[in-house]
Amino acid sequence: MAYVASRLTVTITLMADQEEEQGNTGDQNRKPQDLPQVLLLKPPPVLSVIGEQSFLSNKYQFLKAWESPLPLHQFLTAHAGTIQAILCSGSAPVTDDLLQLLPSVRLVVTASAGTNHIDLEACHRRGISVTNAGNVFSDDGADEAVGLLIDVLRKITASDRYVRQGLWVSEGAYPLGSKLRGKRVGIVGMGSIGLEVAKRLEAFGCNVLYNSRKKKTFLSYPFYSDVCQLAAHSDALIICCALTDQTRHMIDKDVFSALGKEGVIVNIGRGAIVDEKEMVRFLVHGEIAGAGLDVFENEPDVPKELFELDNVVLSPHRAVFTPESFVSLCELVVGNLEAFFSNKPLLSPVMDV
Ligand SMILES: O=CC(=O)O
């Protein structure tokens, strides 16, 4: 945490120095009620790590809905005409109904890579720009994906449990895991996280194949437009794509059948990309070999059947979060707000209207 605090202090000091050089210190002297209003519906995870003081720039008046004694609807109605931006994360959906209540909103900044909690169509229709976490989470997401794959293949956490329970002494050797080198790994979603996963897997000597909305002409990995075909040619599938209407339950029983008894699935995208009931059924019946899961359909509820399975590694939706990535996120969020309120191009636009 000391690392985070010191890098952040450097960043904030640098920003302050630059502003002084530009003679731009006026915002600090403005009364809070004159500053642009930014709504927070729920505290994003980054807040508890970075701290409010550092995350919430004093150039804006942040309205924290969860701190108000008023019921949410009343709170929003009271500020309806003045809220210009929303800062959100996956835990607080930005729906068309919410936006209807807030006619002055022109920007939604999400502190997440995924945007499935935002009604993008409604934002587009209402002329609202949207930004996300851009590439700041790509390294950590890719590290976790590869970590989960290695864990499942080499049975790392399962054998850790075995040793801790004293079973090495009473039962002898633990069953061997299987080799990573040479495995055919199908990446579903070749965005910035998928590309980082591919780089890492190449270094481990795997054969990378992929599925994506479109073939990437700059990549030489085999491309499969059909995810079942990808599964049929893969020893493991890593899900890194976004959750959209097109990808919801895209990993279904046909994909699991194509992956087969020796196949492993890793999901760091969103739980609902996978038909979770089918995945549990395939795992329980030994019809796929294992799973490494950071995301689930109804978080924080995880299907209880998975707790019994030693070939499943579970993680509480934290693949992309590290204090270091939160520092970069913090800079990006502040940068997007600054860009928007000074009519400059957004730093990580999902939709710039
Ligand atoms: O899951 C995390 C994110 O979308 O940032």
What's residue 20's pLDDT?
37
Give the pLDDT band (50/70/90) at residue 29. Answer: low
Q: Which two tokens stand for residue 284?
A: 């329980």
Ligand 1 centre from 140 Cα, in Å? Answer: 11
What's residue 58's pLDDT?
86
Ranges 31-45, 174-188, 252-266, 298-312: which has the least confidence: 31-45
Domains 1-19+26-132+322-342 and 137-310 fall in the same CATH topology:
yes
Ordered by start, the domain boundaries in the chain are 1-19+26-132+322-342, 137-310
| pLDDT, tens digit, 9 for 90 and up, residues 276-309 | 999 999 999 999 999 999 999 999 999 999 999 9
Q: Which two tokens stand for residue 28?
A: 């600090």
CATH superfamily of 137-310: NAD(P)-binding Rossmann-like Domain (3.40.50.720)
154 is catalytic: no
For residue 238, give the nearest of 283, 278, 286, 188 by alpha carbon: 188
299 is catalytic: yes
What's residue 140's pLDDT?
98
Give the pLDDT band (50/70/90) at residue 91. Answer: confident
Best of 87, 132, 137 to mutate for ligand 1, by most ligand atoms within 8 A of CB?
137
ipTM over the 0.85 cut-off: yes
| pLDDT, tens digit, 9 for 90 and up, residues 119-152 | 999 999 999 999 999 999 999 999 999 999 999 9
Sheet (strand 83-88) strand order = 61-64, 37-40, 83-88, 107-110, 129-131, 349-351
Domain 1-19+26-132+322-342 sits in CATH at 3.40.50.720
Residue 9 in this model has a pLDDT that exceeds 50 = no
Ligand 1 centre from 114 Cα, in Å? Answer: 5
Q: Which two tokens stand for residue 294?
A: 């950071």
What's residue 28's pLDDT?
56
Residue 94 in this model has a pLDDT that exceeds 90 = yes
Rounded distance between C-alpha atoms, residue 259 and residue 264, angstroms: 8
- Please state, rounded to an integer, the average pLDDT across all residues of the chain: 92
* Residue of 7, 184, 281, 317 marked active site: 317
Q: How many CA atoms lie within 13 A of 83 on its CB side?
A: 26
What's residue 52's pLDDT?
82
**CB of 137 closer than 6 angstroms to any ligand 1 atom:** yes
